[in-house]
Structure 1
Amino acid sequence: METLLKQLGRIPGALMIVPLFLGAVVASVAPQALEIGSFTTALFKSGTAVLIGLFFVCVGSQIDLRAALPAVEKGIVLLLAKFGVAVAVGLSVAFFMADGTLWGMLPLAIIAAMSNSNGSLFVALTSQFGNSSDKGAISVLSINDGPFLTMIALGAAGLAAFPALALFAAIFPMILGFILGNTSPTAKAFLGPGEKLIIPFAAFAIGAGIKFDVLLTSGAIGILLGLMTVVLSGGAAVLCLWLWHVLRGHPRSTRNVIAGAAEASTAGNAIATPAALATIDPSILPFQEMATAQVATAVVCTAFTMPFVVAWLAGWQRRNGITPEAEEALYQDRSAKVQVAAVSS
């Protein structure tokens, strides 16, 4: 078993990807095994929301206050880049394609898949390849968790109002962890191990909600949507993050863009977006099933391809003298200078 675990550990993002794959296998081959009830079902099937919420508390506790501003700035840049691409592609298909679809790909599915990112996978990959400011960007990126941004993009059709309370509920665990970690070294040390401990359990539960037959029913279109998400939203996020570094005057060695590539995924909860919007606008009902299948395939596609892109980019950066460590040192040095100046004055 030890040898097997070491071999699996060589897979990029293995802590997330391997359990997610196993969960999908069990859900596809023997779904009844996860439905026996009690703690087994709660942990491996229905506990996704609880596990992710606890995971965000642990992650928030490890965000250093000194890296808070760069993390927020990164989060805003990535959020706008990903959402902007999703809206541009989705609405272009809706308005400029003859039948309002791209090879059968629905605008609803495009916006839902490309605007919503997998927060757990983002933090898992930035924990492995990035730095604290990369991980901390999730505090802003949590905004794209769920159907909120899709509702905004389709708001011209009168689908929904922006649910501010639900948004706050999504990011509160991260805020709570941030407060605990920065006000108590004991709390920070206590919650630290949970950052990695929870990842495989949350990943398995997410995978348990995905069946491989979805790949067959939605066909290659959903796979294409996943690849578009990785290439277009990931490419835009990387480019915008690099431009942010340039505009901020950061030295070349600190222009780390790992967080941009790590944002190029589709979250499992995006699968529920078409159904959520259909409850608001019944005219979406005829397209709900197809859009859901396309988004679900994109979730699987991005989960298995995007970590390899992040790993490749991390290697390319290091070969070119750009490291997350250099970026983090820059922020810490600037913070220290600000503190010294404050004391002197």
Structure 2
Amino acid sequence: MDSFLRAVGRIPGALMVVPLFLGAVVNTLAPGSLEIGSFTTALFKGGAPVLIGLFFMCIGAQIDVRAALPSVEKGIVLMLAKYGAAVAVGLSVAFLTPDGNLWGLLPLAIIAAMSNSDGSLYVALTSQFGNKSDKGAISVLSVNDGPFLTLIALGAAGLAQMPLMALFAAIFPMILGFVLGNTSQIIRGFLAPGEKLIIPFAAFALGAGIDFRVLFTSGAVGILLGLSTVVISGGLAMGALILWHKVRKHPRPTRNVVAAACEATTAGNAIATPAAVAAVDPTFLAVQGTATAQVAAAVVTTAFAAPFLVAYIARRQAALGITPDNEEAMYEGTEATAAFEPQLSPATS
């Protein structure tokens, strides 16, 4: 069994995606097996809302309000750029296409997938290709975890009825986790395992509400969503980071944008967003299963594609004399600045 689990673990987003698929398979082939009642039905069929709420609380507890200024600035720039891309594309599809969707791709799925990035993959990629400020930006980028930003976009655009109390109820577990995690390291440490422990159970319960055939019909367009997330949100994030470097008057060899490429992903926890939105506005229940399948496809697609983008951007900017080390040296002061000053010239400054 352990060998099998190790093999399955190599699948991108396995912790969320594999249980989701298993739940969909069971629901498609033997739906009655999850309706036997008691704790079995409560956990594997009807437990998604409770599990998702607890999951969001654990996520909130890991968001650290304290971080170095460059990391905070970089995180804010990346978060706003990625969210801006998600809202622009999602609302354009909602309002500018005849049926309010693009080839079956739903605005709910677009905003949920494009606004929410894979934090663990981000940290892994920035650890390999980035610097301290790139990795530190995750403290701000963690804000895009969960349904909060998606709910705001849909509500502000009038696509969903978002009563203030219902919106507050949806995000309160994350707010509570944030407050507790930033006032007590003990609570933060206690809730930290929940980030991974809860995922497969919540994913299976979500999958138990999906007809497996949806994943190969309306859900298949999620591959396009994943590619769009890498290209559009990644591209806009890189552009925003370059603009930030210029506004801050950073020397050209320090204008590192690796973090933006690392942000061009969809997090596995985004699969839970359609269910969270539907819990606030029941009109989305009709498309919850399709949107969930599309986001799931985007998760896998970005997990495969994003590392290639990051490696390309790292090589490309290195060829231009721009490196994460140069940027880090600049932040560390004048003594370390010597690491990149020899590369400066009137043409590149």
Q: TM-score, normalised by structure 2?
A: 0.69
User: How many residues are paired up?
Assistant: 289
What residue number does 2:35 align with?
A: none
Quote the offset at 1:96 in angstroms.
Answer: 1.0
In structure 2, what residue type is equivalent to 1:233?
A: S
What residue number does 2:85 align with?
A: 85
Query: In structure 2, do the counterparts of structure 1 residues 214 and 245 end up closer, same or farther at CA, with 3 Å as the change threshold?
Result: farther
Query: In structure 2, do the counterparts of structure 1 residues 206 and 302 end up closer, same or farther at CA, with 3 Å as the change threshold?
Result: farther
In structure 2, what residue type is equivalent to 1:141?
A: L
What residue number does 2:97 align with?
A: 97
Aligned mates of 1:115, 1:251 — CA distance in 2: 30
Query: Do the aligned residues in 2 keep the contact of 1:78 with 1:260 (CA within 8 Å)?
Result: yes
Quote the offset at 1:279 in angstroms.
Answer: 1.3
Match of residue 159, structure 1, among 159, 162, 179: 162
What residue number does 1:261 align with?
A: 261
Aligned mates of 2:12, 2:97 — CA distance in 1: 39
What residue number does 1:291 align with?
A: 291
What residue number does 1:249 align with?
A: 249
What residue number does 1:70 align with?
A: 70
What residue number does 1:107 align with?
A: 107
Q: Indicate the SS of the match to 1:159.
A: coil
Unaligned runs of 5+ in 2: 1-8, 27-50, 338-349
What residue number does 1:187 align with?
A: none
Aligned mates of 1:17, 1:258 — CA distance in 2: 24
- Identity across matched positions, percent: 57
Which is further off, 148-157 or 223-232?
148-157
Aligned mates of 1:173, 1:322 — CA distance in 2: 40
Aligned mates of 1:285, 1:208 — CA distance in 2: 17
Unaligned runs of 5+ in 1: 1-15, 33-45, 181-190, 192-197, 338-345
Query: Do the aligned residues in 2 keep the contact of 1:94 with 1:107 (CA within 8 Å)?
Result: yes
Query: In structure 2, do the counterparts of structure 1 residues 106 and 20 end up closer, same or farther at CA, with 3 Å as the change threshold?
Result: closer
Query: Do the aligned residues in 1 keep the contact of 2:131 with 2:325 (CA within 8 Å)?
Result: yes
Aligned mates of 1:127, 1:146 — CA distance in 2: 24
Aligned mates of 1:219, 1:122 — CA distance in 2: 25
Aligned mates of 1:214, 1:267 — CA distance in 2: 21
Aligned mates of 1:172, 1:69 — CA distance in 2: 21
What residue number does 1:195 align with?
A: none
CA displacement, residues 194-228 of structure 1 (integer Å, 9 cap, x when unaligned): xxxx9xx959x669948898752445311000111
In structure 1, what residue type is equivalent to 2:295?
A: V
Aligned mates of 1:312, 1:176 — CA distance in 2: 40
Aligned mates of 1:89, 1:320 — CA distance in 2: 31
Counterparts of residues 4-19 of structure 1 (less than 5 Å): none
Aligned mates of 2:314, 2:12 — CA distance in 1: 23
Query: Do the aligned residues in 2 keep the contact of 1:20 with 1:206 (CA within 8 Å)?
Result: no
Q: TM-score, normalised by structure 1?
A: 0.70
CA displacement, residues 110-139 of structure 1 (integer Å, 9 cap, x when unaligned): 111111111111111111111111111111
What residue number does 2:42 align with?
A: none
Counterparts of residues 184-263 of structure 1 (less than 5 Å): 209=203, 215-263=215-263
Quote the offset at 1:166 in angstroms.
Answer: 3.9
CA displacement, residues 277-322 of structure 1 (integer Å, 9 cap, x when unaligned): 1111111111111111111111111111111111111121222211
Aligned mates of 2:277, 2:180 — CA distance in 1: 25
Q: Indicate the SS of the match to 2:68.
A: helix
In structure 1, what residue type is equivalent to 2:97?
A: M
Q: Indicate the SS of the match to 2:146.
A: coil
Query: In structure 2, do the counterparts of structure 1 residues 175 and 303 end up closer, same or farther at CA, with 3 Å as the change threshold?
Result: farther
Which is further off, 104-113 or 310-319?
310-319
Query: Do the aligned residues in 1 keep the contact of 2:105 with 2:218 (CA within 8 Å)?
Result: no
Aligned mates of 1:29, 1:218 — CA distance in 2: 18
Higher helix fraction: Structure 1 or Structure 2? Answer: 1
Aligned mates of 2:117, 2:262 — CA distance in 1: 9
What residue number does 2:135 align with?
A: 135
